[in-house]
Structure 1
């Protein structure tokens, strides 16, 4: 993918492009340019002019007996800092993106709005247009409303602009009656950090004196900014204006895609390729039509905002449109191949970027685009140890928290606690000491950078100082987060083991344990810091792979963001498919790492200390993972289906043959046989009764043998085919067989999934022990007659006992109960001494374990002990023959097919409960959490579950309205036509991704991908989104003071861009374009 070259600009001005749909005109922003000379820049002259006007207006307004703070002044110099900032906010609120958001949220933009930056909410007056009670015919009544504004696609920009105008406050009010050059006095004061001296109890003379004293403080200065308030730089203001242009471009693209997206498949609903008999030619024809339509859509003209970075970077001409194809390619977005991918682009562009916390992922110099070298890390550990000599604390974290009363911050908001630590006097003392030792680093927060780097390296000294070839990918402070012994454990259990490790090895103190874990995990394992993770999510499952992959995607875009998100928000955000090559590569690499751990924890891969696996090994893992996910997905779909309904099928069949009959007439019981009938039910009957039960008994439907008591049901006009032509019963029986097959296979997969989720110790017990499978029978005797009665204690439980022999030859039995209806597997130590066997006739009421032998052929030794060959031996429990045996036993225990046959032998009528309804009720009782999930999907949240829920197979369900509840995740649909209803989150259920050939990534495409990520990222985020090679010439071609050359990075000479600061060279971040890191020791500019 390449950017639009200057030579092609003229080519883009074609008649077709000239007729492009007019997009909303971008708001005009007057950006001050720096002018050398006596008067200073336009911005400085504007600030000086504003001071003059503001002083005059205050003197005039304060002379009257009124609250001058709310008075409106009109002489706002457009080039002043305030004028430019106010114009930006005005333009954002008038942008198509915000106008659409306001309309969706019923915001009346003709009334005052209040933006609360701390909570991310907006207060407003409603339009009164939202749906109401259909019987309420009163006029719409506007009322006060509030909404979470995080779902606005331009929230980071709006927040930045509002934050500038808010001064030291967190709330700003915007009155549409004002403009960029006509504002309230209080707004000017707030922007400059002033507190106006108004007191209604003062006399006019006293008030005038207070104003005079206030004015005297700055009347002879160059601007209104106090010394402790930083003036917004012109570069910052220009950057914000450019971001608004980019936002307008996104709105234009979304509008263009939304307008035509549905046309991609329009009229193809009945295409031959949709038939079960479709051949390759049909599919090829269908794909060709889709390709042609997509190509036509990609020629759609898009108007580009002149203020946008896209426009500037390509030196485009004002008023000249570009094609949608050129915009996507130039932005690093992969071209869509079908309707789904096209809509994914619109949905992704409509979603706001994720916000990066102030200190990113707390990695400091370890999170630089090129991390601090290992040699420098070791030197920093040494320097830290020397610094602590003579201090009472044993580690740096304890030293930094000395004298700090963090209170509830640690448990309630660890990020705030860490921020307080970084602002402490001890943090500055340490940072200055490090700076004296190593030199000045380029960073907007030097103290935080040094302290965070030292904190991590000092706690992970073992990883920094190791010279072994072993991988450190999964290790933190010497603790292996991917160890096989953590398989089957949830977040709380993993936290507990890590905490124990840190305390035992004296890496952290009890007092600062939570903070230490936050610092260590934020960069190395951020998934362990996500909030509200379900207890049922455990390591070693496909759900864990999906989760960690989703977290990695978000962390690549915004480092440190996921520890402020909930599990539901992470997984909902992950539903946005990657649309750039860079994002696709991040996802593929993240899943590849997760699959390594999954493969080891599931016995597919032999553990390798170097974390190096051949492509053949990874291909085997991907195949095994895909097979497991496919099987579980099929089982999930089987459990989600309803059994075929003979009643509904017969009703539809009768109506098809007799369209003149209503459903009520077909069900009406008005038919009486002229002679005695073979039916046991005395009648009268309905047409439905007769059709169903004559077919079941293989009889003909002969309506001449009945009379109708309803004159409106004339039997002579009703068509009843011959038995051999009545396909309903055969279709029902065929559908029932398919359903029962799917349900039994689903039950097998459920049992396999439950066993494979167990902790490794339990999986080994089952796999390596001598096992038996049984059911529990409740035996009772009737009084007096002492007749024995037997009843299964549970219709859905089987018991697995495993006898294991330890190294000393001691035997021990472990018992597990698997309940498919509850979707649980639990230890039953109370049954360890009970042995399965025949039921004795001992006249005692008791429970007995009775052997349960499944149908099928198995190896003779399937129940025998299997050897445990090594320390890291991990059974492949999901695919084990022992697990299959247990799963088959569960199928036999439930015996759904036998129950169906038993019910089929009964003849019931419409007035009774038919057998297929009884079967349906029985089946639904077997599905774990069916009623709760049904309520959940329908949106009955109080009766159901939470926003997201797991089904029995670890797949995530999103209920009706779930997308709205996940707004905090930043997931937005471009319009209602691109939305979706309750569903399974399929991106969390995908199998193994095909590896992306890194060599196949065209360099130009990667460069634009970096630009795309930079433009979507929040202001000031200088963390790398993806570690890839890039062309510094292309990336920095329009960056002032950037010099391309070579320097040693991570031990090898690398082509980079650098800039000078205080006579030293510093590398430039390819995303933020800002300098970072320590001075380059050997940078050589290119000739």
Structure 2
């Protein structure tokens, strides 16, 4: 590896985060000062000199050329420093520590969001290569600031893997990454590289980007964009400051004296990160604020006892779930204000004509059939419907159809993305199928099939999903069992995602209190990130649900979710669907009564479990009341002649052992004195 050392007289400035003005709420970043602009210009000039040297090395066929160190005030250096800061964020550091990742082995593909790494030799002596993407729950939740900075650095180029500054030893950057950032040509011949090096030395800097053709690129790397990214990482730092204080307080406070907690929350202070969206006006000159004020300003509940301290720390240290691409697949039906019935009927009518804009659906009965174009669905695709649906959305046919629907509705004054319109069409009944819209059906029904009903009470979720698929085929809503599998997944993703959870235990069935708990937990997560739970297991869902709400908004979401789940529980348990406050009160009381009964049954003392030996002793006392019970424990019985069930003179038996034997009928005859010899 060849490194380009600094050969200019000016030394690189240390990386410094920009400071935002103090304020109570989020504020727009101020315009960069002239001195900041001058520093950036000087930094870019210094980096251009380093890149010039790298060009000469490349012209001489040197390989693995790195520029070291990167001038921190240069445009590239600031974003490179932001990427380093994102990797040093506490949540990322904790993830790397938990997995045992060797930071120096990391490579990053920013466009696809994948990270490749090796574990430390002490963890994995074989040094296998591991790759995780955005489908990894924890990496997907914490990787946002990393990928945002990396994509700016990658400057819109194809998804090229590069080594980020993930470790404390990372002081260099690949020369081609610097060139790409400044839009330098990457296809130069050796002589052309030498000429370009001369131009850089002569001009003392890179060419300026043309605002007319590179406006988006200029905006993406602007000082304002950088400050927003710095503030994102600063928010994480502030949150972990609070987490550490809460955990320390939980360890130090006397559980028996919770009255200490309010005073400690006021006394303890946090050192705030300057680049942050949280800027309290009352912060001290040293930019410190009390722990209780930090919690209050963020709308979190103030803990009053030990359990709440631990719960709040756990909640704040749990990365927020990330919404997958295309959310819960509901399209416009899942908008905050869903598509109204008139527009939905219009969409169905458009599909029924067989032509939308320039798109001719041909003989296809519905949008799903059109996208499949007659091909079959493989077993692998059936096992991962979400991936297949995502493929349709990004396919040429899917994009074209989505854009055609988008254009048609924009003329009607309804705006939405092409992908949302395609998903809306997929969720809608085809015009060849009569019936009311799904939103007009009874709660808990999908295409006329009721998921939670008295008939389905006690059924496993997989059984219910299979019955839904069969229903779709029987009613002509799906033209084959394979298509019904995809259609059912699509419909459930936005309307009853609890049925898509993986690895649900056998005992968690429709109509039970356990099902209410699962449905409530799923709804809580979906409220934060629609579509997130479709890739989760039962254990994952319930682990997140074990953390209690920490704000009024979260508590409201939980209450509404549980209320909805209890409504369906009441139907599964033979009651009418609650539609009034009075009927809802009745349902909730019935549910609470069942919970009490289960709790009381679980707490009932059964006593010592009877044993075979104890039962035998009681039977002997009844059969032989004149015999001292202690004799029942002595080996005083033998059998003449012996047989395969009871060896003869070579072995003696106790009365209890005879009764314990599985051949109870033979034992009873022997106890009765037949052919038994008592010594």
Distance 2:435 2:550 in 1: 35
Task: Report what 2:404 is aligned to.
Answer: 433
Task: Report what 1:902 is aligned to.
Answer: 618
CA contact (8 A) 1:328 1:335 kept: yes
CA contact (8 A) 1:125 1:142 kept: no
| Number of equivalences | 588
2:163 is paired with a residue whose SS is strand
Q: What is the CA deviation profile of residues 543-594 of structure 1, one whole-angstrom value per residue up to 9, with x for unaligned ones?
A: 1111111111111111001111122211222122221211111111111111
Pick aligned residue for 2:254 from 255, 265, 268: 265
Distance 1:43 1:163 in 2: 23
Q: Report the Cα offset of residue 36 of structure 1.
A: 11
Q: Report the Cα offset of residue 78 of structure 1.
A: 3.5
Pick aligned residue for 1:95 from 89, 92, 95: 89
Q: What is the CA deviation profile of residues 809-861 of structure 1, one whole-angstrom value per residue up to 9, with x for unaligned ones?
A: xxxxxxxxxxxxxxxxxxxxxxxxxxxxxxxxxxxxxxxxxxxxxxxxxxxxx
- Cα distance change, pair 158–177 in 1 and its aligned pair in 2 (3 A): closer
Distance 1:632 1:908 in 2: 45
1:517 is paired with a residue whose SS is helix
Task: Report what 2:67 is aligned to.
Answer: 72
Task: Report what 1:643 is aligned to.
Answer: none
- Cα distance change, pair 193–500 in 1 and its aligned pair in 2 (3 A): farther
Q: What is the CA deviation profile of residues 624-666 of structure 1, one whole-angstrom value per residue up to 9, with x for unaligned ones?
A: 333333443455567xxxxxxxxxxxxxxxxxxxxxxxxxxxx
Q: Report the Cα offset of residue 325 of structure 1.
A: 1.7
Distance 1:435 1:44 in 2: 43
CA contact (8 A) 2:266 2:291 kept: yes
CA contact (8 A) 2:459 2:509 kept: yes
Task: Report what 2:301 is aligned to.
Answer: 334
1:158 matches 2:126? no
CA contact (8 A) 1:156 1:352 kept: no
CA contact (8 A) 1:462 1:478 kept: no
- Cα distance change, pair 300–435 in 1 and its aligned pair in 2 (3 A): same
Q: What is the CA deviation profile of residues 477-508 of structure 1, one whole-angstrom value per residue up to 9, with x for unaligned ones?
A: 23222232221211222122211221222222
2:478 is paired with a residue whose SS is coil
- Cα distance change, pair 221–264 in 1 and its aligned pair in 2 (3 A): closer
- Cα distance change, pair 33–622 in 1 and its aligned pair in 2 (3 A): closer
Distance 2:347 2:631 in 1: 83
Pick aligned residue for 1:499 from 464, 469, 472: 469
CA contact (8 A) 1:522 1:563 kept: yes
Q: What is the CA deviation profile of residues 728-765 of structure 1, one whole-angstrom value per residue up to 9, with x for unaligned ones?
A: xxxxxxxxxx5428x7xxxxxxxxxxxxxxxxxxxxxx
Alignment of 1:16-31 (within 5 A): 28-29=17-18
Pick aligned residue for 1:529 from 491, 495, 500: 500
Distance 1:170 1:225 in 2: 27
TM-score when normalising by structure 2: 0.72
Distance 1:301 1:581 in 2: 24
- Cα distance change, pair 502–190 in 1 and its aligned pair in 2 (3 A): farther
- Cα distance change, pair 595–433 in 1 and its aligned pair in 2 (3 A): same
CA contact (8 A) 1:115 1:172 kept: yes
1:250 matches 2:221? no
CA contact (8 A) 1:33 1:42 kept: no
- Cα distance change, pair 375–598 in 1 and its aligned pair in 2 (3 A): same
Distance 1:174 1:910 in 2: 77
Alignment of 1:414-425 (within 5 A): 414-425=385-396
Pick aligned residue for 2:163 from 173, 182, 199: 173
Task: Report what 2:562 is aligned to.
Answer: 591
Q: Report the Cα offset of residue 87 of structure 1.
A: 1.5
Pick aligned residue for 1:618 from 569, 584, 599: 584
Distance 2:386 2:467 in 1: 22
Q: Report the Cα offset of residue 173 of structure 1.
A: 2.0
5+ residue gaps, structure 1, are: 1-25, 133-140, 199-205, 269-288, 639-737, 744-893, 913-917, 922-1087
Task: Report what 1:392 is aligned to.
Answer: 363
1:311 is paired with a residue whose SS is coil
Q: What is the CA deviation profile of residues 933-990 of structure 1, one whole-angstrom value per residue up to 9, with x for unaligned ones?
A: xxxxxxxxxxxxxxxxxxxxxxxxxxxxxxxxxxxxxxxxxxxxxxxxxxxxxxxxxx
1:380 matches 2:96? no
Task: Report what 1:740 is aligned to.
Answer: 607
CA contact (8 A) 2:17 2:230 kept: no
Q: Report the Cα offset of residue 367 of structure 1.
A: 2.0
Task: Report what 1:486 is aligned to.
Answer: 456
Task: Report what 1:60 is aligned to.
Answer: 56
CA contact (8 A) 1:396 1:455 kept: yes
Alignment of 1:270-349 (within 5 A): 289-311=257-279, 319-349=286-316
Q: Report the Cα offset of residue 329 of structure 1.
A: 1.7
- Cα distance change, pair 178–385 in 1 and its aligned pair in 2 (3 A): same
- Cα distance change, pair 48–259 in 1 and its aligned pair in 2 (3 A): closer
Q: Report the Cα offset of residue 197 of structure 1.
A: 6.1
- Cα distance change, pair 341–147 in 1 and its aligned pair in 2 (3 A): farther
Q: Report the Cα offset of residue 169 of structure 1.
A: 2.9
Task: Report what 1:354 is aligned to.
Answer: 321
Cα RMSD, aligned residues only: 4.9
Distance 2:385 2:367 in 1: 17
1:290 is paired with a residue whose SS is coil
- Cα distance change, pair 491–228 in 1 and its aligned pair in 2 (3 A): farther
Alignment of 1:880-959 (within 5 A): 899=615, 902=618
The structure with the greater share of residues assigned to strand is 1
Q: Report the Cα offset of residue 601 of structure 1.
A: 1.5
Higher relative contact order (CA closer than 8 Å, sequence separation 6+): 1
Task: Report what 1:774 is aligned to.
Answer: none
2:353 is paired with a residue whose SS is helix
- Cα distance change, pair 379–108 in 1 and its aligned pair in 2 (3 A): closer
Question: Larger deviation: 524-533 or 450-459?
Answer: 450-459
Distance 2:128 2:467 in 1: 50
CA contact (8 A) 1:422 1:448 kept: yes
Task: Report what 1:370 is aligned to.
Answer: 337
- Cα distance change, pair 572–361 in 1 and its aligned pair in 2 (3 A): same
Task: Report what 2:446 is aligned to.
Answer: 476
Distance 1:168 1:338 in 2: 52
- Cα distance change, pair 426–120 in 1 and its aligned pair in 2 (3 A): closer
Distance 1:290 1:531 in 2: 40
CA contact (8 A) 2:504 2:538 kept: yes
1:259 is paired with a residue whose SS is helix
CA contact (8 A) 2:235 2:277 kept: yes
Alignment of 1:69-148 (within 5 A): 69-74=64-69, 76=71, 78=73, 80=75, 82-107=76-101, 111-115=104-108, 123-124=117-118, 126=120, 128=122
Distance 2:617 2:146 in 1: 65
2:258 is paired with a residue whose SS is helix
Q: Report the Cα offset of residue 64 of structure 1.
A: 3.4
Q: Report the Cα offset of residue 349 of structure 1.
A: 0.9
CA contact (8 A) 1:357 1:560 kept: yes
Alignment of 1:568-717 (within 5 A): 568-603=539-574, 605=575, 607-608=576-577, 611-615=578-582, 617-636=583-602
Question: Larger deviation: 556-565 or 425-434?
Answer: 425-434
Q: Report the Cα offset of residue 194 of structure 1.
A: 9.1
Distance 1:361 1:142 in 2: 40
TM-score when normalising by structure 1: 0.47
- Cα distance change, pair 170–52 in 1 and its aligned pair in 2 (3 A): closer
